[in-house]
Amino acid sequence: MEKDPYLWLEDITGDDALAWVRAHNEPTIAQLSGERFEAMRSEVLEILDTDARIPYPGRRGEYLYNFWRDEANPRGLWRRTTLESYRTDDPDWDVILDLDELARAEDENWVWAGPEVIEPEHTLAMISLSRGGADATVVREFDMRTREFVSGGFELAEAKSSVSWQDEDTLLVCTDFGEGSMTESGYPRIAKRWRRGEPLADAETVYEAEPADVRVIASIDRTPGFEHTRLGRYTDFYHRIRYEVRDGELIELKVPTDSSLSLHREWLLIALRTDWQVGGVTYPAGALLGANFDDFLSDTADLAMIYEPDEHSSLSSVQWTKEKLILITLRDVASHVEVVTPGTWERRDAPDIPPATDTIVVDIDHLGDEVFYNSSGFTTPSRLLHGTAGGPLVEIKSAPAFYDATGIDVEQFFATSKDGTKVPYFVVGRRDEPSPTYLYGYGGFQNSLTPGYIGGIGRGWLERGGTYVQANIRGGGEYGPGWHTQAMRENRHLVYEDFAAIAADLVDRGITTVEQLGASGGSNGGLLMGVMLTQYPELFGALVCSVPLLDMKRFHLLLAGASWVAEYGNPDDPADWEFMAKYSPYQNVSESAPYPPILITTSTRDDRVHPGHARKMTAALEAAGHRVLYYENIEGGHGGAADNKQSAFKAALTYEFLWQTLGDRT
C-alpha cells in the first residue's frame, strides 16, 4: 500500500464525516439490533444507573465528595456528605454542581473531567469540563462555598490543560498559549504562573519543555509545613527530567529519568523501571526505594529498599496517608496490601483485607490517616472498607450481585508463548463443555489487568452461557517493569505471540473452539485486535476492535501519537519501520486471507487516538472483500461513550456481535 487511498478519512469533517459515519453505523445497528440486543442494553444500563452501586467517596476536608450519574442525571452530580451520613443506607447528599442543568443552560454537551481543589482550604476548585468526552477541556474557577462559577475568575479555553494552585490568587498553568506553545504530541510545553486579574498572555513563564518532548511538568503540593513545587519535562512517554524549586532555583532530582517519584512531607519514594547503581549498590528494576528528601537533595541520603520484586511479584501502587504508606503488590496477579512505617520502613500486612480478592485504594487522606479500600473478584461484588492505615477496617458499603454466579468458576492458567515464557490468564465460566468465549487483552504501557468484579460482562455474557477470559500478556505490568520493557519496540511481537498462545491454549484445554472464540481490545488493545486479524486470523471466530491504533506508519502524526514513539518505535526511522511494518495492521490487510468477522468501533470526539485509524481500516477491509461492521459514536472521547446510556449501547453492540458470530455455532 505505497499510496494511501484512504488518507482523506483522517481529515474528513462536518457533513461529509457525518454522512460517512451514518452510512456505516446504520447497517451495523440494523444487523445487531433486536430483542436480545435491547435486553442486554437495558441490563447493562440498569447496572450502570442503579442506586445500589457504591458511591465511591473522596475526602476533602470535613466532607466526602462523589460524582454520580444515573438515569435522572446522565451527565452527573458533584455532591458531598459527611462520613456519618455516608455510613447510612440513604446518605443525605448535598449537590454542589448539577452538570445536566449546566449543560442545558449553556447548550453544551458537557462531560465531567474532574476538579482541582485548593488544599487545605477546600474553598475553590478549577473544574475541567469536556465537550463530548474529549481529552481537551474547558477549565473554569468554581467557588465551593457559593456553588457558583466565579464571575471574572480564572478560566481556560478548550485545550489539554493542567493547573495547580499556588494560593487562592495564583495558579501554575500549562495550556495552549498560542503558536509554538504545544509539543509535537499536542500537549502543553510551557508552564506559567498566572495571577488573579492579569491577562493569561501576561502570565510569567516559569519553565519550558522542548517541542519534541511529550509535555511539560508543573505541580504544587500545599501541605502545610511541607510545601513543594515541581517542574520538569517528559522527554518521552517514560523518561522525565524533574526539578524541585527552592528559593527560586531549580534543583535537579538526580534519579533515573524513567523512575516514578512520590514526594510526601519529608519523604521521597523512588520506583525503578530499570536497574540503578548508586555507591556501588545495584538496585533492581521494580524495586521501591525510600529516603529523607532533604538528605537526598544534599547527596547524604541513605536509600532504603522498601520493596524488592521477585519472579512472581511486582509493585502495583503506593499511596500515602499522613503517617503511613500503603503498599499494594501483585503476586501472580493477586493483590496483597501492606502498611509501611516511614523511616524504619517496617512492613506489616493490612488487617481485615478479604483473601483472594482484587484490592485497590479508593481514597486516602494525606492530611490524616483515613483510608478507603475496594475489594472484589470476578464473581465477588465490590465491598468498600473504611478505617485508618494499619488499623482495623469496617465494611461500610457493599454492592449487590449484578449477575447470577451460581456454578461459575474462576481459574488461572498459564499458556506457553513462542519463546517459552509462561503467560497467565483467568478463565471465568462454567466448564461443562466448550462454550462461546470472550477473550480480552491489552498488553501495553505497563498497564496491569487485575481480577475485579465484572457485572456487565456477567449479565451480558456469562449468564447467557458464555465464558470470559482475561489475558495478562507481556506489555502490561503484572510482573513488574520487565514484563513491559521486554515487549517494547522491536520486541513488540512478544505481545502478539503471548495473546495467540492463550487463544490456542484455550482450544487445547477444551474450554472453547476456534469457531467459538472471540476477542476484544481497545486503544493499544485495538492494535492487538488488528494484529490478531491480520497475523493470526485462523485462531478466532470473531474480533471486536475499539478506539484502535491501526496505521503504524502514520500514528505519530495524528493527535497524541508522537508521545507513543517510545513504546512502538519511530516509523520515520527506516530501522524502526522495518520491524513495525511486519505487524502494522493497516499495511498488512490481505485480500486472500480468510479473516474472521470483525466489529470496529471508535468516537468522533476521540482526540487521543484519531478515529481515522478505525475509518481507514474499515475502508481497506471493505475494499479487500472482508466482512466488517463499523460503529462510530459522535461523542465519547477515547472512552468511546459520554454517559451511561452510550456505555450500555456500546457494550450491547459487543455482546450481540459476539453472540451472533460465536453463539449460534456448534
CB of 261 closer than 8 Å to CB of 242: yes
Cα-based distances in Å from 645 to 462, 505, 637: 21, 36, 15
- The identity of residue 603, as a single letter, is S
C-alpha cell, 454: 465484572
Residues present in the chain in total = 666
> In 3D, which of 441, 456, 404 has the Cα closest to residue 649?
456
Sign of CA pseudo-dihedral 192, 197, 198, 199: positive
Helix (H) or strand (E) holding 111: strand 110-117
Cβ neighbours of residue 53 closer than 8 Å, sequence gap 6 or more: 47, 399
Q: In angstroms, rounded to a whole number, what is the distance separating the alpha carbons of residues 650 and 644?
A: 10
Q: In angstroms, rounded to a whole number, what is the distance separating the alpha carbons of residues 214 and 579?
A: 23
Active-site residue, selected from the candidate residues 164, 335, 523, 603: 523
CA 384, 386, 387 angle in degrees (round to 5)?
Answer: 160
Neighbours of 184 (CB within 10 A): 17
Q: In angstroms, rounded to a whole number, what is the distance separating the alpha carbons of residues 308 and 528?
A: 31
Collapsed DSSP state (helix, strand, coil) of residue 588: helix
Our answer to whether residue 592 is catalytic in this structure is: no
Q: In angstroms, rounded to a whole number, what is the distance separating the alpha carbons of residues 528 and 609?
A: 14
C-alpha cell, 96: 454542589
Neighbours of 193 (CB within 10 A): 17
Kindly state the greatest CA–CA separation across the chain: 72
Q: In angstroms, rounded to a whole number, what is the distance separating the alpha carbons of residues 609 and 557?
A: 11
- Work out the burial of residue 4: count CB atoms within 10 Å of its CB; fewer than 13 is exposed, 13-18 middle, 19 or more buried: middle
- The identity of residue 255, as a single letter, is V
Cβ neighbours of residue 572 closer than 8 Å, sequence gap 6 or more: 556
Active-site residue, selected from the candidate residues 386, 484, 556, 638: 638
Catalogue the long-range contacts made by 4-8 (C-beta closer than 8 Å, 24 or more residues apart). Answer: 4/616, 5/619, 6/615, 6/616, 6/619, 6/620, 7/616
CB of 46 closer than 8 Å to CB of 455: no
CB of 253 closer than 8 Å to CB of 293: no
Our answer to whether residue 638 is catalytic in this structure is: yes
> In 3D, which of 71, 112, 45 has the Cα closest to residue 651?
45
- Work out the burial of residue 11: count CB atoms within 10 Å of its CB; fewer than 13 is exposed, 13-18 middle, 19 or more buried: exposed
Q: In angstroms, rounded to a whole number, what is the distance separating the alpha carbons of residues 66 and 96?
A: 10
Q: What is the DSSP letter of 662?
A: I
Q: In angstroms, rounded to a whole number, what is the distance separating the alpha carbons of residues 522 and 524?
A: 6
C-alpha cell, 327: 503498599
Q: In angstroms, rounded to a whole number, what is the distance separating the alpha carbons of residues 213 and 190?
A: 11
Neighbours of 200 (CB within 10 A): 16
> In 3D, which of 238, 651, 214 has the Cα closest to residue 444?
238
Looking at the DSSP bridge assignments, the partners of residue 440 are 470, 520
C-alpha cell, 639: 472512552
Which residues belong to the active site?
523, 638
